[in-house]
Amino acid sequence: MPESDSSAASGKKPDNIHDDFFKDVFKERECVTSLIRAGAPKALFEIIDWDSLRLEPQSIKADSQNEKFADLVFSATLKDSERTARIVLLFEHKSYRDDALDKQMARNQFLMYLQNDFQSLIVPIVVFQGPWFKHGLVTFSNLFSDYSEQHLRILTEYSVNFRCLPISVDEIDSMGLAGKTNIDAVIRAMVTVRDFDVSDLPDLMDRTRHVPAEGRARTFKLVLGYVCGYNNDIKQDDILKLKTKTLEEQQMVLSAVEAFRQEGLEEGLKKGRQEVAANLLQIGMEPKEVVELTNLSREQVESLWQEFNGTSEL
């Protein structure tokens, strides 16, 4: 993410701003429920007891490579049953078609079941913005496109055939499937973030009004931080000029701007401490002493130490 003193940006890096936003929003039960209601088949939505939905403490990764297979993992009870299912969400925000993702998803699902030891069914969902999946659903047999249809039809009867459910935020937005729900502003932000400008702010404010009162301020801050953080052409003054309809909305705007300002200050202080730490290491101070003096984490000082000494040992 570009950084600027006059920007509303919160200081996050461009390579994780999408992931941070998705996780912050969709870890909430109401938001992930609205997302799946809007983008998944009705039959799937209706067999899950959404009141039982629980966020699991970590995403699924492969121990050997520490590769991320899912951004968020939920467990839920199935209706008319005591059995559970795991709902795994992977978010992909790409401006290009990535064919390697087909193989990645098939491999991921296989490893998910191995890690799960086949104790519960897994519903793999890819929430994507961009051109991926325009050819249709991904299945295991998609990977073998050079086989004839006859061979595939016969041989896949005896092969594992994982299938992945894609949810397109572009489609949800274009069809108005999130209209007047608590994720209306979220979906719009995901679709427009790359081209978002000042003229889009009033629409974003209007869509935020659909969020229940208790979560409105949080959603507004997350959505605003996301679009402004990606594009630093939007200044704090632009946000403050937003027309509000209630005192609550005015306070919501002021609170969001103040939060961005504080986060920007924290980022500046962190950079200052890193510069001091680097100087102290260069003049020969022990890393443990640098940790104590700068209040940086052991990992941060270790990274700086490695740059100068070629070793991560403190």
Per-residue model confidence as pLDDT tens digits over 40-99: 999 999 999 999 999 987 655 554 555 566 789 999 999 988 889 989 898 888 777 777
**Domain-located, residue 1:** no
- Residues 82 and 204 both lie in one domain: yes
Same domain, 86 and 111: yes
In a 3-state reduction of DSSP, which class is residue 210?
coil
Is residue 161, in this structure, part of any structural domain at all? yes
282 and 231 in a single domain? The answer is no
Same structural domain, 186 and 289? no
pLDDT value at 183 more than 90:
yes
Based on the domain organization, do 56 and 202 belong to the same domain? yes
Output the six-digit token pair for 21. Answer: 């936003």
Q: Are residues 207 and 260 in the same domain?
A: no
Quick one: pLDDT band at residue 100, thresholds 50, 70, 90? confident
Domain boundary among 204, 221, 243: 243
Domain hosting 286: range is 256-309
Which pair of structure tokens corresponds to residue 131?
A: 């051109």
Query: Are 116 and 66 in a shared domain?
Result: yes
HSE value, Cβ hemisphere, 13 Å, CA-based, for 227: 30
Q: Could you tell me if residue 2 is inside a domain? A: no
In terms of domains, do 79 and 148 share one?
A: yes
What are the φ and ψ backbone dihedral angles of 312, each rounded to 5 degrees?
-95, 0
Q: How would you list the strands of the sheet with 121-129, edge to edge?
A: 54-55, 72-77, 84-93, 121-129, 163-168, 138-139
Q: Is residue 11 part of a domain?
A: no
Alpha helices by DSSP H, listed for 72-157, are 100-116, 149-155
Q: Which helix (H) or strand (E) holds 129?
A: strand 121-129
What pLDDT is attached to residue 12?
43
Residue-level pLDDT at 2: 33
Which of 211, 243, 275 is the endpoint of a domain? 243
Model-level pTM? 0.73
Are 171 and 221 part of one and the same domain? yes
Q: Where are the alpha helices (DSSP H) in 2-65?
A: 17-26, 29-39, 42-46
* Total count of domains within the chain: 2
Which of these three, 243, 278, 295, is where a domain ends?
243
CA distance 132 to 103: 13
Say if residue 157 is exposed, middle or buried (CB neighbours under 10 Å; 0-12, 13-18, 19+): exposed
User: Is 124 in the same domain as 60?
Assistant: yes
Q: Which amino acid is at 225?
A: G
Q: Are residues 222 and 275 in the same domain?
A: no
d(CA 122, CA 120): 6
